[in-house]
Amino acid sequence: MYAQKKLNAISLAFYGLFCLHPIILSAFMVAPLIVSIFSSKLHISYASSASLPINRAQFKNNQISASLPKDSEPLDEESSSIEDDLLKDDMDNAISSETNVHDYIVTYGDTLSNIINQYDVELADIIQLIRCDRRLHNLHIGQKLSWTLNNKHQLQHLTWERSHGEIRCYERTKKGFKVSLSLKMDLFQRKITTVIVNTSFINSARLAGLSTKEIQAVIKSLQWQIDFRKLRDGDRFEILTMYAMLNGKKQKSELLGVRLHNTNKNYYAIRAVNGKFYDRSGSDLTSRFMRFPTVKKYRVSSSFNLRRPNPITGKIIPHKGVDFAVPIGTPVLAIGDGEIIVSRFSSTAGKYVAIRHGHQYMTRYMHLNTLLVKVGQKVKRGEHIALSGNTGRSTGPHVHFEIWVNNQAVNPLTARLPCMEKLTGKNRRNYLDKAKKIILQLNKK
């Protein structure tokens, strides 16, 4: 009996302990939490009040860093402009008198899309334009396109010169594009204008009666043969133009040929059917360009984008070139013949080089490690101008490469670069026959 009572007492004790177990367990679980909260309050009370803003700033910087492309330029703030290095004088203004206004002569393999897309125009605009007029699918060599972009880099206006007698114009509307004007011109006249250089070609040409577009055409036709900035007083131009008349007014002018007499030497540029200019023997006057500034193509770490937003702030920070991720010390090449106009250090671009090619084209190469050229030096296509690096504002070793046409940046990966086109067979014979007649006219004065 006694043994049974003792057993019951022990069982009751264990039962009581079992009933208290959840309470004891909860207490052990809650206690650390209370201590943790109390410690956090103590930490906050003793911490500096400035610590929270610092942590937020660090978090924001970490966000930005995670959004940046590697081996490129940082996007956290807009780089200070280095475009003051672009040489802009009367000659440059003559080539590009209006911002976002472009013109182009159609050549072999061109389509409307690949001509305009190099200026970062949205494909939707091009599609809408072609829907407006399906004939734009069929561009022909030698035809001329002129277009204007608005401040949002949208296509605003396009002019298509289909032939000597027809010009078609397209205007942006709220619903897309529409053909706003179509001119039929049948009456053409020819005129030879003599320009004798006095102080500058630009002023002398204007005094002789040439329009801005006619001056532009002359400069472009001879840009690979001579430097217009180095002409001398007394140098003489004979310029043959053909222009159309509509209702008694001059509507359209086309340069047919130019002769320059400079220091006892004659330079000729004669327009062929394809819209390009050749010399009196039929040799192409265009300087050929390479596509990339390195021996081989490297990974693109950041693309051309004139509407590039900062990933955090949303602010538009245009990226006017292409970044190639290359190892430090990689040879950087001039993509075409030209003259060095910049070779120096910038806090943003690092060590960089700018080259003028003719009068329409300029290229820039940035974040270099070693400069191998000096200002005023002439370089040839493929010549080593620098070694790549990671200087200036940069997130890793790379070369930032830009191509500018008429003082405006274009996409280096899609830019319609100058190329040499040989005249052969019947085309060459027809050109030489035409050139003889034009040269006779130019030499009469």
Q: What is the C-alpha separation between 229 and 410, in angstroms, rounded?
A: 25
Residue 220 lies in a domain: yes
94 and 121 fall within a common domain: yes
172 and 104 fall within a common domain: yes
> In which band, very low, low, confident or very high, does the pLDDT at 98 lie, cut at 50, 70 and 90?
low
- Contact between 163 and 141 under an 8 Å Cβ cutoff? The reply is no
Secondary structure of 160-206 in the HEC alphabet? EEEECCEEEEEEEECCEEEEEEEEECCEEEEEEEEEECECEHHHHHH
Query: CA-based angle 361:362:363, to the nearest 5?
Result: 130
Q: What is the C-alpha separation between 210 and 200, in angstroms, rounded?
A: 14
166: number of Cβ within 10 Å = 12
337 and 397 fall within a common domain: yes
Which of 6 and 169 is assigned the larger pLDDT? Answer: 169
Final residue of a domain: which of 184, 202, 229? Answer: 184
Residue 96 has, within 13 A of its CA and on its CB side, a CA count of: 20
Residue 7 lies in a domain: no
Tell me what pLDDT residue 64 has: 41
Q: What is the pLDDT of residues 30-58, one digit of tens each?
A: 444 444 444 433 333 333 333 334 344 44
428 and 394 fall within a common domain: no
DSSP readout, 321-366? SEEE---TT-EEE-SSSEEEEEEEEETTTEEEEEEEETTTEEEEEE
Final residue of a domain: which of 184, 210, 228? Answer: 184
> In which band, very low, low, confident or very high, does the pLDDT at 381 lie, cut at 50, 70 and 90?
very high
Put the strands of the sheet holding 187-196 in their side by side order.
187-196, 236-246, 249-262, 265-271, 277-278
Q: Which helix (H) or strand (E) holds 105?
A: strand 101-105
Tell me what pLDDT residue 90 has: 59
204: number of Cβ within 10 Å = 19
Global pTM?
Answer: 0.73
Residue 77 lies in a domain: no
137 and 165 fall within a common domain: yes
109 and 136 fall within a common domain: yes
Q: Average pLDDT, stretch 419-443?
A: 90
CATH number for 264: 3.10.450.350
Could you give the number of structural domains in the chain?
3
Q: What is the pLDDT of residues 219-248, one digit of tens each?
A: 989 988 888 888 999 999 999 998 876 666
397 and 323 fall within a common domain: yes
pLDDT greater than 60 at residue 359: yes
Which of 99 and 113 is assigned the larger pLDDT? Answer: 113
382 and 345 fall within a common domain: yes
Residue 334 lies in a domain: yes
Parent domain of 204: 187-286+421-443
Residue 216 lies in a domain: yes
DSSP readout, 415-429? ----------HHHHH
Residue 45 lies in a domain: no
Final residue of a domain: which of 135, 164, 184? Answer: 184
